[in-house]
């Protein structure tokens, strides 16, 4: 199993949401298309946004905690017929319990508790890619922190999304957020 981290949320050309997992000790990135609700839930957890009432993934974590169960880890185990499969590894006392899950729900839970996420080597071999290096030219200019206008960055973001270059899109999105917030 390969340890990964959530590297970003993206939107495809068809307006589907997705998540990008990146190897912690390697170069590969794994994009997984997920539902809009799950993408929002993961984004909220990553940005530490607390809704006034618990959403479904918060509720699930609350239930686990009340029952004395901890989420030990998440495993993306298989890619079959363009569908990803995952397992939640839970612990109650000294008992380990494995529960079938959609990867999006599993990741939404893991980011809430800081649990590790792993991807099976065969899944990485099937679907991961090595992203282009940071600050590589996008065809019209080089994306460099502090050296591009907001309009240029928004145009580059649109091109990256259309080309399904999700890691690049995430970096550009982050730069846009910095510029818009005045940081």
> Going from the N-terminus, what domains does the chain have, and what CATH number goes with each?
2-127 (3.10.690.10), 131-183 (no CATH)
In order of 63, 101, 119, the CA distances from 77 in angstroms are 25, 10, 6
pLDDT per residue over 104-127, tens digit each?
999 999 999 999 999 999 999 999
Q: What mean pLDDT comes out for the span 88-99?
A: 96
Q: How confident is the model at residue 13 (pLDDT cuts 50, 70, 90)?
A: confident
Question: What does the mean pLDDT of the chain come to?
Answer: 85
- On the question of pLDDT at 142 being above 70, the answer is no
- Residue given tokens 């980011």 in the structure block: 111
pLDDT per residue over 15-38, tens digit each?
788 899 999 998 899 999 998 899
For residue 136, what pLDDT is reported? 44
For residue 148, what pLDDT is reported? 57
- On the question of pLDDT at 137 being above 80, the answer is no
pLDDT per residue over 42-75, tens digit each?
999 998 888 889 999 999 999 999 999 999 999 9
For residue 118, what pLDDT is reported? 98
């Amino acid at each position: 199993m390969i340890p990964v981290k959530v590297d970003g949320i993206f939107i495809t050309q068809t307006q589907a949401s997705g998540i990008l997992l990146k190897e912690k000790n390697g170069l590969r990135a794994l994009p997984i298309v997920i539902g809009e609700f799950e993408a929002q839930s993961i984004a909220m957890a990553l940005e530490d946004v607390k809704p006034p009432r618990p959403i479904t993934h918060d509720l699930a974590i609350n239930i686990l905690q009340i029952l004395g169960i901890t989420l030990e880890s998440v495993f993306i185990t298989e890619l079959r017929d363009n569908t990803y499969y995952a397992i939640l590894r839970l612990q109650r006392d000294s008992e380990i319990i494995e529960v079938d899950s959609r990867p999006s729900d599993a990741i939404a839970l893991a980011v809430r508790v800081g649990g590790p996420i792993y991807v099976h080597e065969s899944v990485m071999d099937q679907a991961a890619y090595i992203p282009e290096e940071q600050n590589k030219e996008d065809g019209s200019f080089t994306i460099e922190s502090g050296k591009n206008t907001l309009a240029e960055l928004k145009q580059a973001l649109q091109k990256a999304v259309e080309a399904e270059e999700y890691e690049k899109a995430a970096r550009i999105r982050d730069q846009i957020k910095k510029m818009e917030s005045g940081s």
